[in-house]
Structure 1
Amino acid sequence: MTSPLPEGEPVRPPRPIVLIGLMGAGKSCVGRRLAARLGVPFLDSDAEFEAAAGCTIADYFTRFGEPAFRDGERKVIARLMEGPLCVLATGGGAFCDPETRARIRAGAVTVWLRAELDLLVKRTAGRDHRPLLKQGDPREILARLMAARYPVYAEADIVIDTTDEPADVTVGKVYDALADFAEHHR
């Protein structure tokens, strides 16, 4: 269980908060609630990409391929990073792009929502909007993505393990970690 939230002044992040992690880790759910708690806007780079592209990511993948998607994603995240203070949930592969990772690390506080394979499989089951999971067995694909991406995600400023607990518990853990991070990085 996480400690109670501090009384008095709420945590006010000095830079945007960028949530990273694999699909199903809870970046959007936790991000929305965290943004509300911090009193800042919530943005989702996938939703912003779809708005800019005028189609779903799955359609974009089909038409143009992953390299074109990553290029567009890089541009969208760069634009969002230049905007007002916010909580930004990124797509699972965004932080693995060296240029995007460098931009995020230079201008934001990064929070990795780390989850075990079984939880990711459970949370992504039956959802057809995740193009990478359409290329074979989802469990095997997620395990392969974990092996490739978790060492990169480990560069995050803050690491929070997510479980099947209620989202507000995870939000509390992130909030407390941000308060601690802010205290040590004044």
Structure 2
Amino acid sequence: MDNQLTNVVLVGPMGSGKTSVGRRLACVLKRDFFDSDFEIIARTGVAIDHIFDVEGEEGFRQRETQVLKDLCEIPNIVIATGGGIVIKEENRTLLKHDSFVVYLSSSIAQLVKRTANSKSRPLLEQSSNREKTIRDLVNAREDFYQEVADVVIETTGKKLYAIINEIKKVAPK
């Protein structure tokens, strides 16, 4: 892996801090930052929940894969992914190829707290029990997060700067 061109990709469940960590990490590493969900919104001109409503989850996942392919072609960036990016095998293959993947892990309680006021998470908006939905999603995806991860960083109860410092110690320079 050529460290000068290696992307740092953040994976993990919704609410684990991928976007917040990614934005700050990119500044610290002096790299450009991309969020795959924001990229989908920019390309379509509509919110993710609208894509879910019109195209369903499968339509969204197809768009997500195309965005991931495109972002992986850009060298030396930090990418925050959507929580479900690891579902598709094609995405896991892309993530494991020439990227340094950081799995941001967090407790269910922390994820519930961090997503409590969010109105832009379609899988949670369809749920009457947010905690159960988050737990089910994490359980269904945990093995995939572990499969693609070069390193796992536990974020529960940690400040942003502490998480950044942990990643900085192990990330390609």
Partner residue of 1:163? 156
SS at match of 2:97: helix
The alpha-carbon deviation at position 85 of structure 1 amounts to: 1.3
* % identity of equivalent residues: 38
Distance in 1, Cα, partners of 2:161 & 2:86? 24
Distance in 1, Cα, partners of 2:164 & 2:107? 18
Letter in 2 for 1:105: K
Deviation track 1:27-80 (CA, whole Å, cap 9, x = no partner) reads 011111111111000100000001111101011100110001000110011001
1:148 to 115, 119, 140: 140
Distance in 1, Cα, partners of 2:5 & 2:76? 8
The alpha-carbon deviation at position 84 of structure 1 amounts to: 3.0
1:175 to 158, 168, 171: 168
Distance in 2, Cα, partners of 1:123 & 1:89? 16
Deviation track 1:67-122 (CA, whole Å, cap 9, x = no partner) reads 01000110011001101310000000012211011011112111000000000000
The alpha-carbon deviation at position 176 of structure 1 amounts to: 1.1
Structure 2 regions of 5+ residues with no counterpart? none
SS at match of 1:84: coil
SS at match of 2:109: helix
SS at match of 1:65: helix
The farther-off stretch of 63-72 and 163-172 is 163-172
Is this contact kept in 1: 2:6–2:75, CA < 8 A?
Answer: no
Letter in 2 for 1:147: N
Distance in 2, Cα, partners of 1:165 & 1:154? 20
Paired residues, what number?
169
SS at match of 1:87: strand
The alpha-carbon deviation at position 13 of structure 1 amounts to: 5.2
For residues 10-49 of structure 1, the aligned pairs below 5 Å read: 14-49=5-40
Is this contact kept in 2: 1:13–1:178, CA < 8 A?
Answer: no
Structure 1 regions of 5+ residues with no counterpart? 1-11
Please give the TM-score of this superposition, normalised by the length of structure 2.
0.94
2:115 to 124, 149, 170: 124
CA RMSD of aligned residues (A): 1.3
Please give the TM-score of this superposition, normalised by the length of structure 1.
0.87
The farther-off stretch of 41-50 and 13-22 is 13-22
Distance in 2, Cα, partners of 1:66 & 1:130? 12
Distance in 1, Cα, partners of 2:4 & 2:145? 20
